[in-house]
Amino acid sequence: MPDPLQPVLGGDVPFDATAFEIESREELDTHLLRNTLAGLIVLGLRLDRHPPDLSSVDVRDTLFVGCRFVSPEVEIDLIRRGAHVVPPFRTLPYPTHPALLYTPEDLAAGFGEGGFEAMYDTVVYRHFVERGGAVPDVREAIAQRLHDAGIDNALGKALAAWAAAHGAAGAVGIMGGHAEPRGSEAYRMAATLARRLATSGRLIVTGGGPGVMEAANLGAYFAARTEPELAAAIDMLAPAPHFLDHEPYTAAALGVRATYPLPAVDLADRLRFGGLALPTWLYGHEPANLFAGQIGKYFSNAVREDSILRLSRGGIVFAPGWAGTVQEVFQAATKTFYRTDGPSGSFVFLGVQHWAGLPVVELLGTLLARSPHGDQSGLIVVTDSLDEAMAALCR
C-alpha cells in the first residue's frame, strides 16, 4: 500500500512559485545539481528514502523542517556545517510540517482496508483525543502548532497558485448546519448554488465538515458537470443521510467519487473542482468532507475559523444552521464592520423561513448600518432564490 502521508510529506508534485522553499524531491534534486541549498527551506521531505549525498553541498543557513534523514549522523553533520534542523516527531501519526494541503485521498487513506476506524483522518483524531484534545501537553502542543504552521504555509501557496491560474475573482464562503441531512432541500440548494458559483470561476470555501459544508464542496466538485448529474449524485448520497453513521456515510461519498471521477488536473487546478475546505480535528468525530479539491485540516479551531472568514471576501452564504452558523455570522460581521480585510462581499442568507425564526438578520442590519466605513447593511440578502443569490454574489 502506498504511504498515505507521502503527499503531505513532499511527494512528486509540480514546482510552485515559492523560490526559497523546496517541497518535492524533484525540486531538491534540481538544487543539488548546483551543489548548494544555502539559505533555502526544505519542507517535510523523506530523505531517508534513496538518501541524497549532502556531504559536500553548501548548507549554510539552510532550514530543514520536518524532514526525515537516514541517520542522526547526517543531521549532526548538517548542523555542523551551518544548517538548522527542526526534526519531525517520529511517534506521531501526522507530519509535523506538511509541505502541501491534504486531499480527500489523503484523509480517506485506509478506509478500503479497515473502514472508518482505519482512515488516516480517524487515526489522527483518535491520537488528538488521547493526547488531551483541546488541552494537550507541551510536547503535543508544539507538534500540533508545527503542523498547523505547515498548513498555513501550504494554504498560502495553494491560493497563490489559484490566483495565478484563475485571476483574482473573489472566494465565496458557504456556511450552514453540520447536521443537515444529505438530500434535504437546504443540502440541494447549497450544492446547486456552489456548482453555479464554481462554474462562474468563484472559489468555494467551507469549513470542511458534513451537512451544508459537504453540499457546497460537492457542488464545486461538479463544476465541469451538469446540474442533473449533481442531482443524481445527491440521490446516491441520500440513503446515508446522517454523518454519525460513519461507515455508510463515508462509503457513499467514496462511491460518488468513483462514479463521477474528477478530470485530470494539475496542482494549481485542484481548487477549481471541489473548492477549499478548512476543517479541524477538534470536531474529528465528524467524517471528513471528501469532495473538496484541497483540504487545510487544522488542530486549532480558532485559526481555522478565522481563516475561513478572512478568505471569503467575495461574499458569504449562510444556509440554515444554528449556534455555530450564528457565531460565524457575527465573526464575519466584525471584519465587515471594521473592514479589517478590505471591502466585503454580500451576506446571503438562504432559507427565508429559517432566518425569520432567528433575530440574526435584524441585529446584523442594525450593526452594519453603523460601520465607521458607512452603512454596510445593503450587503444583506435574505432569499430562497438561487438566481437572486447568484446576482448578489457576482455583482
**Position 151: which residue type?**
I
Residue 230: partners with Cβ closer than 8 Å, 6 or more residues away: 191, 192, 195, 218, 219, 222
- Kindly report the three-state secondary structure assignment for every residue of the chain: CCCCCCCCCCCCCCCCCCCCEECCHHHHHHHHCCCECCCCEEECCECCCCCCCCCCCECCCCEEECCECCCHHHHHHHHHCCCEEECCCCCCCCCCCCCCCECHHHHHCCHHHHCHHHCHHHHHHHHHHHCCCCCCCHHHHHHHHHHHHHHHHHHHHHHHHHHHHHCCCCEEEEECCCCCCCCCHHHHHHHHHHHHHHHCCCEEEECCCCCHHHHHHHHHHCCCCCHHHHHHHHHHHCCCCCCCCHHHHHHHHHHHHHHCCCCCCCHHHHHHCCCEECCEHHHCCCCCCCCCCEECCECCHHHHHHHHHHHCCCCEEECCCCHHHHHHHHHHHHHHHHCECECCCCEEEECHHHHHCCCHHHHHHHHHCCCCCCCCHHHEEEECCHHHHHHHHCC
C-alpha distances in Å from residue 301, one per residue of 114, 209, 282, 330: 28, 12, 6, 16
Contacts of 23 (CB under 8 A, 6+ apart): 10, 13, 16, 43, 44, 45, 99, 100
Question: Computed over its alpha carbons, how large is the radius of gyration of the chain?
Answer: 22
Cell 491560493 found at? 159
Identify the pLDDT of residue 268.
66
Q: Rounded to an integer, what distance in angstroms lies between the CA atom of residue 311 and that of residue 299? A: 19
In sign, the C-alpha dihedral spanning 157, 161, 167, 170 is negative
Cα dist from 359 to 315, 316, 363, 365, 368, whole Å? 21, 18, 6, 10, 15
pLDDT at site 15: 52
What residues form DSSP beta bridges with 85?
Answer: 64
Cα–Cα distance for residue pair 275/198, rounded to 1 Å:
8
Q: Specify the pLDDT at position 354.
A: 96
Instruction: Name 86's bridge partners.
Output: 65
Q: How far is the C-alpha of 27 from the C-alpha of 42, rounded, in Å?
A: 10
Task: State the pLDDT at residue 218.
Answer: 98
* Cβ–Cβ under 8 Å, residues 296 and 278: yes
Position 247 scores a pLDDT of: 97
pLDDT score for 270:
86
Per-residue pLDDT of the chain (395 residues; tens, 9 = 90+): 233 333 343 344 445 557 789 988 989 999 999 999 999 999 989 999 999 999 999 999 999 998 999 999 999 999 999 999 999 887 899 998 888 899 999 999 999 999 999 999 999 999 999 999 999 999 999 999 999 999 999 999 899 888 888 876 789 999 999 999 999 999 999 999 999 999 999 999 999 999 999 999 999 999 999 999 999 999 999 999 999 999 999 999 999 999 999 988 876 688 999 999 999 999 999 988 999 999 999 999 999 999 999 999 899 999 999 999 999 999 999 999 999 988 899 999 999 999 999 999 999 999 999 999 999 999 999 999 999 999 999 98
What global pTM score does this model have? 0.91
By CB atoms closer than 10 A (0-12, 13-18, 19+), residue 354 is buried
Contacts of 199 (CB under 8 A, 6+ apart): 223
